[in-house]
Structure 1
Amino acid sequence: MSVRDKVALVTGAGRGIGEAIADRLAAQGASVAVCDLDQEAAVKVAAQLAERHSVRATGVGVDISDSVAVRKAVERVTGELGPVDILVNNAAVDVIGRFVDSAEETWDRIIAVNLRGTLTMTRAVLDSMTERGGGRVVLIASDAGRVGSSGEVVYSATKGGVIAFGKALAREVARHGITVNSVCPGPTDTALLGQVAEYSQKMYDATVRAIPLRRVARPAEIAGVVAFLASDDAAYMTGQTLSVSGGLTMV
């Protein structure tokens, strides 16, 4: 299962699941563009990947909700590493709380990053993939988008949209050798899960108890599934949605 000599662009890779994905792809020999809103974090992670795995890596600061910034970021990555072979749309934001207590500005930001940002970044790499006759797009969705999640109504809506986008896009681009699949992490040891605990320790504890494997995921466990979908071993998989949730959701 190799992605060696491929160019991978991972959004939200300055920390958490995105960083773990970037590390796994670099460990398997891919050149990696670490993209994150936090440019300092992106540059730091890229430098660590280059040193740890002896691969080419670059850190790029980009707000994926800004279409102009996205185009510039992809142009920079292409100039430094080459055309993008693997796109992992991981960047996302959330605010935990009841929907009736939320503000429209919060809705707008969550939608702009999680859904529109995913569309914008994907569109920015598709022409090149089509011209070269192949590519891998992996969308980091969420089981919140499959079954809903209390305290994450708008987030759930955007992740449901990401899943639907991936299925429809997979149908359109399959003829060009491009696959599109979604990964839905369950509760994972990240800052986002920390928000849940801050909002309600009772909710957090109940969620963990409900997981058949009796623990939250490690970011590296999500990264392994993404690396598989990015590899040649998954060449005949497209339009699929995989839950990595320790059995919390079985849909």
Structure 2
Amino acid sequence: MSLQGKTAVITGSNSGIGLGIARELARAGANVVLNSFTGRPQDHALADTIASEFGVRASYIKADMSIGRECRDLIEAAAACDILVNNAGIQHVAPIDTFPPETWDAIIAINLNSVFHTTAAALPGMRAAGWGRVINIASAHGLTASPFKSAYVAAKHGVVGMTKAVALETAQEPITCNAVCPGYVLTPLVEAQIPDTMAEYDMDRETVIREVMLARQPSRQFATVEQLGGTVAFLCSPAAEQITGTTLSVDGGWTAM
């Protein structure tokens, strides 16, 4: 499979799942645009590293995905957007009656509203180019729920619903829209939580991963960022031309239960 000549914009892609997706798309030949709200020298250096490693064009654009205008400006600044990967997201855990309202607003803005703004901005260019892929990184929590994650669950269910709506609106065009629903993925952020969880439960690393962190993931294994990237790359391939408006779970069987 080759994505040579295509440009992919991946939101929230200076680490973790987003960076893993950017690398796999670059491996397939796509030019990539990285994004975060930080704008640090190391963010630009990540793009330079990808360009050097895979022989593609890579750039970094700072944009705050909690602000609708900046979401749209990101797509405009990218100049081309054949593949849009809506990955940016944040999380907060609290009972709904004590959930901070400002945190609710931030989660809905970044996890859900940004998907609307970037997609609305990207579709005209995809139509003009005669090809496009919109891939939304939802979650197992877009298909099921957990307590104390009301904003995240609501946002990710919304992403799945929006995915279906966009797919229907573009069904007779060479544009597809799908959602990838990961379970627990081994990212630097998750890795950093393991020592504290070990101390909290007085367990060794392997036990705390299997019995605490992955208790709801039947495989008892983390998904990897490379697997997520490979799934996204597949959705951009000719084999996936008739896959639209659906969810692909990468969750070790979580949503099968």
Q: TM-score if structure 2 supplies the norm length?
A: 0.89
Partner letter of residue 17 of structure 1?
Answer: I
Residue of structure 2 in register with 1:236 after alignment: 242
Partner letter of residue 54 of structure 2?
Answer: H
Q: What is the CA-CA distance between 1:192 and the residue it aligns to? A: 5.3
**Partners in 1 of 2:96 and 2:193 — Cα distance?**
15
Residue of structure 2 in register with 1:123 after alignment: 120
Q: What is the CA-CA distance between 1:52 and the residue it aligns to? A: 0.8
Identity %: 37
Alpha-carbon contact 1:64-1:117 (below 8 Å) kept: yes
Q: What is the CA-CA distance between 1:71 and the residue it aligns to? A: 2.8
Residue of structure 2 in register with 1:36 after alignment: 36
Alpha-carbon contact 2:71-2:117 (below 8 Å) kept: yes
> Which moves more between the two structures, 236-245 or 189-198?
189-198
Residue of structure 2 in register with 1:12 after alignment: 12
Residue of structure 1 in register with 2:149 after alignment: 152
Partner letter of residue 50 of structure 2?
Answer: L
* Per-residue Cα deviation, 1:171-223 (whole angstroms, up to 9, x for no partner): 00122211000000001112554687668966974341442322111111111
Mark the runs of 5 or more structure 1 residues left unpaired by the alignment: none
Residue of structure 1 in register with 2:205 after alignment: none
Rg larger in structure: 2
Output aligned runs, 1:68-83, within 5 Å: 68-78=69-79, 83=80
Q: TM-score if structure 1 supplies the norm length?
A: 0.91
CA RMSD of superposed structures (Å): 2.1
**Partners in 2 of 1:113 and 1:59 — Cα distance?**
19
**Partners in 1 of 2:176 and 2:95 — Cα distance?**
36
**Partners in 2 of 1:196 and 1:187 — Cα distance?**
12
**Partners in 1 of 2:246 and 2:47 — Cα distance?**
30
**Partners in 2 of 1:2 and 1:98 — Cα distance?**
46
**Partners in 2 of 1:189 and 1:11 — Cα distance?**
19
> Which moves more between the two structures, 183-192 or 121-130?
183-192
* Per-residue Cα deviation, 1:84-129 (whole angstroms, up to 9, x for no partner): 1100000001112222221110100000111101111111111111
**Partners in 2 of 1:175 and 1:42 — Cα distance?**
38
**Partners in 2 of 1:86 and 1:32 — Cα distance?**
9
Partner letter of residue 84 of structure 1?
Answer: C
> Which moves more between the two structures, 109-118 or 192-201?
192-201
**Partners in 2 of 1:30 and 1:72 — Cα distance?**
21
Output aligned runs, 1:1-251, within 5 Å: 1-40=1-40, 41-78=42-79, 83-190=80-187, 193=190, 205-250=211-256
Alpha-carbon contact 2:183-2:217 (below 8 Å) kept: no
**Partners in 2 of 1:173 and 1:2 — Cα distance?**
23
Matched residues, number? 247
Mark the runs of 5 or more structure 2 residues left unpaired by the alignment: 202-207
* Per-residue Cα deviation, 1:29-80 (whole angstroms, up to 9, x for no partner): 10000111122253122111011111100011111222222232222211xx
